[in-house]
Structure 1
Amino acid sequence: MKIKICGIRSQDDLKVCEEEGADLIGFINIERSKRMVEIGEINTLISSMKDVTKAVLVIEPLDITDAEEKIIKSRITNIQLHSLSPEEISELKEKFHRKSAENKTQTSPNLTITRAVGISKVINRDKRREIENFADICDFLLFDYEIQGKTGGTGRQIPAETAIKAAKIAKHRNKDVKLTLAGGMNTARIKNEGKKLERVFDVFDINSGVEIKPGVKNINKISELMEIKQNN
């Protein structure tokens, strides 16, 4: 079981996440989010990280150019996208691949792309096709509860059987794609359903489930979460 703690906004919370053993740490640069952090602030936060490869930049870019600018400015190459089509993601990856080939003597960008896919209670034909199309091109898919076409920050959970069905669709399409489950994740759900869910999911993404209020983490909840992880 791998744990990603998302919505980090302070050095104190970042330090706790690192010390407690979070596998991934997310920084949200989306204006509609209550946990929005400017790119400059993200730069300051990650400068103190012991392992910057754990950092994940969460963005909802307007287009490829916007995404590219945010990636370059943040210097983070684990990217979680809440927008862009499969075709745009393919183009974005190709751009960075070309840069990598052109800059052999420099530190070359090696993007890991996670695409958030919104799920509610039912997976219809269009949603199945969306999952399959993103599974074709992305390194990770992240399933989060969807409300009115928006994912992230809802605090609602995808029913376990629906989440497992989405995971199986993605894996049937691309056995190498990694899968993350988000949406109201907390210690109670991981205690009760963790063993069943981790059969198909590689990462659990927790945000509000370890908070005092939006953007302020609860140390005790993080410790409890990591204890569950260690005992699984």
Structure 2
Amino acid sequence: MILKFCGIKTKVEALSIRPLNINMVGFIHYPKSKRHLDIEQINKLTRLLPDEIDRVVVLVNPTLQLIKKIINATNINAIQLHGDETIDFIKQLRLNFKNIKIIKALPATQNIINDIDQFKEHVDLFIIDTPSEQYGGTGQSFDWTLLKGLDQSIPFLIAGGIDVDKIKQIEALKLNHLGYDISSGIETDDMKDKNKMLTVIQQVKGEL
């Protein structure tokens, strides 16, 4: 399964993650988030990671100009859109940045299947997160049974307060998710916790 560890903030965290058996690392560029980093910080941290780990910048309702600036100034290779971005905007993003992976975060509502249908031809991966006014990062979970209607043709990760115990509960539902996007569930006192990260990896992948 795919594991994305999100909200990396420091060199210590990046170096602790570098050798781990994970697939994606997320860096947040959104001033309202407690995990916000400026572009220069993102540049320094992304360059500490190996190429086999996707380096994702998480943005909320960005402009194309901002995305271009971040792509040119950092070592990211994926954009995660966590706001109210339109299909037309994503089409423009794809047209302008053909080599960048596009991830769209969507809130887990009763409309999730219809929402995914609108975007699925234009993005590489979905992240299904807990609905919130602050566009994610709440550490709260949602009703995972909302995802039972998503088949294997839809590439999606589950987010929202994910930790080892919740992973066990989700696995029992036999959903078609590709993996998990985790931030608070691998933290202690707002810092990434190596032991928690290793425990999650062991649970999800079966090997470190």
Structures share a fold, TM > 0.5? yes
1:157-207 Cα offsets, whole Å, 9 max, x none, are: 121201333x34xx6xxx3x421111111111112322545x411120010
Q: Distance in 1 between matches of 2:129 and 2:102?
A: 16
Q: Distance in 1 between matches of 2:96 and 2:47?
A: 26
Q: Matched residue of 1:222: which SS?
A: helix
Q: What is aligned with 1:226?
A: 201
Alpha-carbon distance change, 190 to 128 in structure 1, aligned in 2, over 3 angstroms: closer
Q: Distance in 2 between matches of 1:193 and 1:32?
A: 29
Q: Distance in 1 between matches of 2:34 and 2:52?
A: 24
TM-score, structure 2 normalization: 0.89
Structure 1: runs of 5+ lacking an equivalent: 98-109
Q: What is aligned with 2:56?
A: 56
Question: What is the root-mean-square deviation of aligned Cα atoms in Å?
Answer: 2.0
Q: Distance in 1 between matches of 2:39 and 2:148?
A: 34
1:51-72 Cα offsets, whole Å, 9 max, x none, are: 3642111112432222222222
Matched-pair contact (CA < 8 Å) for 2:80–2:103: yes
Matched-pair contact (CA < 8 Å) for 1:68–1:92: no
Matched-pair contact (CA < 8 Å) for 2:161–2:183: yes
Q: What is aligned with 2:136?
A: 152
Q: Distance in 1 between matches of 2:206 and 2:93?
A: 39
Q: Matched residue of 1:191: which SS?
A: helix
Instruction: State the percentage of identical aligned residues.
Output: 25
Q: 2:167 aligns with which of 190, 207, 225?
A: 190
Q: What is aligned with 1:203?
A: 179
- Structure showing the higher helix proportion among its residues: 1
Q: 1:136 aligns with which of 108, 112, 121?
A: 121
Q: Distance in 1 between matches of 2:148 and 2:160?
A: 14
Q: Matched residue of 1:157: which SS?
A: coil
Residue 107 of structure 2 corresponds to residue 118 of structure 1: yes
Matched-pair contact (CA < 8 Å) for 2:28–2:59: yes
Which one has a bigger Cα radius of gyration?
1
Q: Distance in 2 between matches of 1:134 and 1:22?
A: 26
Q: What is aligned with 1:104?
A: none
Q: Distance in 2 between matches of 1:89 and 1:23?
A: 23
Matched-pair contact (CA < 8 Å) for 1:117–1:151: no
CA shift for structure 1 position 230: 3.2
Alpha-carbon distance change, 53 to 10 in structure 1, aligned in 2, over 3 angstroms: same
- Corresponding pairs, count: 206
TM-score, structure 1 normalization: 0.81
CA shift for structure 1 position 129: 3.3
Q: Distance in 2 between matches of 1:132 and 1:72?
A: 31
Residue 32 of structure 2 corresponds to residue 32 of structure 1: yes
Q: Distance in 1 between matches of 2:40 and 2:52?
A: 16
Structure 2: runs of 5+ lacking an equivalent: none
Q: Matched residue of 1:146: which SS?
A: coil
Q: In structure 2, what residue type is equivalent to 1:212?
A: T
